[in-house]
Chain A
């Protein structure tokens, strides 16, 4: 087996649900050694989220958990107990990196603030993921995917094409858990830079990730338009300026990106007369009349099916795509050609199709070496072999509910 790019990197994950787990999944799938600490009993709350095969809840069969925790080890530990904290500190001695996403005050109460932990290990990299960050007036405010989407201005810009009846429709959070994933990805990119610093200067640090900022960072272009141009999108029509509009067709919708591809689009539509009008030929006046232009394009799209328009788009090199469901995604020919989806066997959940590598590294490839762990699957291995607790000590800790 080839070694992953991050093989040898030791990561301790003390987090719940998505942001911290996605962050460490990115590391584990590139070969880092990730130990995930879970609550004794229920474990990570992603275990109870689903989806479950046949919709029957089971802590070892949650799709979200299985996806987010590939290549990791799981141990159970009650960090609220005094001996539990002792074990935690032993794990900190082992780790290069700690990823956590608990409330700041909770970590302080547990005695697990960066300030305390760096005394145990001065070179520790600790990444804290919270809704608003560890400083500022909202540092102890609660949040979740919904709250980050809205406080970052991301939701105010969604949906993109404008709401006809502003009174009836509120700003909209992104689909599924988009905000949590973006926060986790931001944490991963930030943490890995500190890993490079550790490698070069042997210096650790605390990284303070605010979900609000991670999401606001995505709206940077609109923020620039607002601050420098005095422009800001309302929630009514016309907020998209150059492309990416949806058009209804015979059996669904297609998304077409006009921008600099206008001429190719005109040819694809068979040069309808209206496209020759001066108003639409000139990009500046066309942009001013984008709604009218879109209505005319729609007259054409309504005559075709999604598949027909998709084929024409390929033929005429126009950036477009049908609005597809996850079914078409999973069965996509391009992704099949690239062997994107991976089939993974899990001892309890069985065999299932998972999303694969977000990037293909030629020398040290992304790889699934093992499925998501059962709750506490590596207790014996890690407490025994790695930390050197003997069998009697382990039995005692188990009895006390610490592990």
Chain B
């Protein structure tokens, strides 16, 4: 772990669900010591998501959904209803650089762990709070999930096929990911600043405000022209053809994007210059746009005879952008993903050997970063309370019995 960018940085993480944990997962892989604060009384919902067959459904150490966003971290259990737990939390924060949380509602403040309080015991603390709508304003306490924010920010309205209705964006929690990465960026920027000025700060991140940035051009279009946008499916304002086409196999697809006349010529040649490509209807981008439905049908006659990788490689060799539309099962065997070792393997004490998506970031040289196994619930209680806080074994056992460490 030597010389990872965040080596020596310690983070007290009250994150749960998706956005908070994925944020600190980035920082953990980059070398920070992330201490995840949990409790048996109110388990992180993700701990039971995706338990593999053969393991009891309520085994909170076996959720693969949890594993996918929590590797690289340590876990402690603290029952924050107890005053002693809050005292221990304060002691720990004194030796941390960053505190993160993404509760719905002002939970940390209720525990006496708000930024103003913490600043008194650790003057240069960086305090990150992530929420759906921000920590002030009329909607501040509303619970939020990715799909809710996507409906609220206008993405769902724009997501869908031309002529069809609005559709929820993707199976994966898209705006959780945008919040996680915006947050990781902001915390590291604050660390950069702290390293120079010696000052910490409070970071208030609303999921909606990050996701609205991804819709920048829509906001500008509305502000300039009152334009609401439309559902474009896989189509594009200028490039034609630009779509996703059926291939030979069952539910097998390929995406193709042809940019400009030179690429169109290369495309025509690659598909064997069939007679229809010479028609005036398809002679230039404007005409192709006019006759896009028919064009897409004709292209599909060609793709349908081939498999997705065959189409991808034929077109790419000719200088035309094309890519297999992969499902999560196929991407594991994708030659590019494999060659770059995107997946990481871990030996998990409960689940066994697991393969998980790595981060799209890699450390310098061969080492990929801190990919230690996702923690069992409270796995690092003895290390954190014993080694870091200096409590004796007897004291720790007593606190466990008293359901403080719980």
Contact = CB atoms under 8 A, between A and B. Distances in A.
Contacts of A136: 335-336, 339-340
Contacts of A341: 219
A213 B244 contact: no
B328 A335 contact: no
Given A185-B181, A329-B152, A355-B213, A158 B170 contact: yes
A242 B170 CA distance: 14
Contact of A216 (B6, B244, B337): B337
Contacts of B133: 334
B98 to A, nearest CB: 13
Given A51-B221, A172-B161, A221-B68, A359 B170 contact: no
A141 B314 CA distance: 11
Interface in A361-395: 361-364
A302 to B, nearest CB: 15
Interface stretch (A71-79, A85-93, A107-115, A319-327): A319-327
Contact of B325 (A151, A227, A260, A363): A151
Contacts of B319: 142
A143 interface: yes
A99 interface: no
A1 B357 CA distance: 43
B189 A5 contact: yes
Interface in A153-204: 153-161, 166, 169-178, 181-182, 185-186, 188-190, 192-197, 199-201, 203
A271 B19 CA distance: 32
B18 to A, nearest CB: 8
B342 A160 contact: no
Contact of B216 (A149, A190, A354): A354
Contacts of A141: 312, 316, 321, 323
Contacts of A227: 64, 332, 343, 354-356
Given A142-B320, A150-B325, A137 B217 contact: no
B148 A257 contact: yes
Interface residues of B, number: 153
Nearest to A174: B169
B159 A216 contact: no
A260 B145 CA distance: 12
Contact of A228 (B50, B165, B228): B50
B77 interface: no
Contacts of A245: 147, 168
Contact of B190 (A146, A200, A358, A361): A361
Interface in B126-150: 133-134, 136-140, 142-150
B321 A144 contact: yes
Contacts of B229: 176, 325-326
A115 to B, nearest CB: 15
A330 B172 contact: no
Contacts of A357: 209
Interface stretch (B191-199, B286-294, B394-402): B191-199
B328 A257 contact: no
Contact of A158 (B169, B202, B360): B169
A197 B332 contact: no
Contact of B136 (A197, A319, A337): A337
A170 B222 contact: no
B30 interface: yes
B200 interface: yes
Given A6-B193, A176-B214, A232 B246 contact: no
Contact of B192 (A159, A199, A324, A356): A199
Interface stretch (A36-44, A61-69, A273-281, A288-296): A61-69
Contacts of B209: 335, 338, 340, 355-359
B174 interface: yes
B189 A160 contact: no
A18 B87 CA distance: 47
Interface in B30-68: 30, 45, 49-53, 57, 64-65, 67-68
B364 interface: yes
A398 interface: no
A362 B203 contact: yes
B182 interface: yes
Given A147-B257, A223-B328, A358 B335 contact: no
A319 B145 CA distance: 7
Contact of B152 (A132, A177, A321, A327): A321
Contact of B189 (A6, A231, A360): A6
Contacts of B323: 141, 143, 146-148, 150-151
A347 interface: no
B234 interface: yes
A290 to B, nearest CB: 14
A360 B203 contact: yes
Nearest to A241: B49
A325 B169 CA distance: 14
Interface in A1-55: 5-6, 8-9, 26, 30, 49-55
A144 B326 CA distance: 16
A153 B339 CA distance: 17
Contacts of B169: 158-160, 174-175, 178
Nearest to A9: B192
Contacts of B91: none
Nearest to A186: B360
B328 A222 contact: yes
7 tightest A-B CB contacts, nearest first: A63-B220, A244-B147, A159-B167, A363-B201, A136-B339, A157-B171, A337-B137
21 contacts: A144-B321, A146-B244, A151-B334, A156-B327, A157-B171, A181-B178, A185-B185, A186-B361, A189-B188, A194-B5, A212-B337, A221-B173, A228-B64, A257-B143, A326-B154, A326-B222, A327-B228, A334-B139, A338-B137, A340-B209, A358-B186
Given A159-B167, A175-B215, A232-B329, 12 more contacts: A64-B217, A133-B340, A138-B335, A138-B336, A158-B159, A193-B361, A213-B340, A217-B177, A219-B328, A227-B354, A228-B351, A337-B136
